[in-house]
Structure 1
């Protein structure tokens, strides 16, 4: 009967070590959760600790949304008084050409392949009409996995 007690004691010590290792590895953002867990009279199980941290992560995701705009199509443009200028800005926004640069004429919003000065307007426009286009919006990480950390 002594072996069963020793086995339980060893399992409890192993789980306790894993809990401390997990809590020590948390970011500084989770200091208050670490303190809450360690202040309890009885140390919770490893699953309870994981659940507590996961719950805090979910709460932060919902309540403290940082409004990440990396890779998003959010753009703020100051309104101009010239209506022709506004129409050009709208066209640029919808075509997604704000990051393009021509190495031939050294002007923005197009590349060397679509440069009117190099190829002529009619040739570039006729090429653009022949090529079918598809627009795609993606969300999340590139490999399809969630990028959260325990």
Structure 2
């Protein structure tokens, strides 16, 4: 019993405080040791080995960082890598380590689309061989291509269905837009190539749709215009006649009448200009 407690104290003193909290209530040294071995004694921790190697490859000295600090980080990674991968005791173990390094290098060179497959390979209890890893990645690549084609086909079908649904709901708007001109502002006729109406309302194809004008109203307007024009001319001629009569009266009274009481030619000319056919034809 005393020896067991002594071994437990040695193990607890060798642990970090956060790790010690996990095993603080172990009942015996064997129970603590078995738990430690299951959790941290896996010598084939491929994912952690891969992570350490990647850090060593990408680790660079930062600006204004002392060389001592940079070297300390690299040495810490080297020691941790040696902890997970102690020196090979046999030739077969050395060849196995060399195979693992090739697998790690091959996985590190893959594109991000194989991240999930790479994680699954590294999380296996035993790291597969290089040929097995290649076969797994080849199958995954084929699966992605097939799934990509199926996804494109499904997207095309969904787009077609959405377009058909949208067209069925906006059928009236489509008809209206079809009859618009190039600018989309006014209706446009494809038959007579004129704007202002659509083909289904074109007068050339459907003469009965042409509206009839209100002829009596236009006739009344024309008559009123002609009457006002004649009235104006009559007023002008009346003023001219009065002016001529006054002029003739001031010159000589006999000049307006000839022998036998006939009216002079000047007066007849004035009367004919007012009521004669020439005046009517001019108006």
With normalisation by structure 1, the TM-score equals: 0.40
With normalisation by structure 2, the TM-score equals: 0.22
Q: Which has the higher contact order (CA 8 A, sep 6+)?
A: 1
- Could you say which structure has the larger radius of gyration? 2
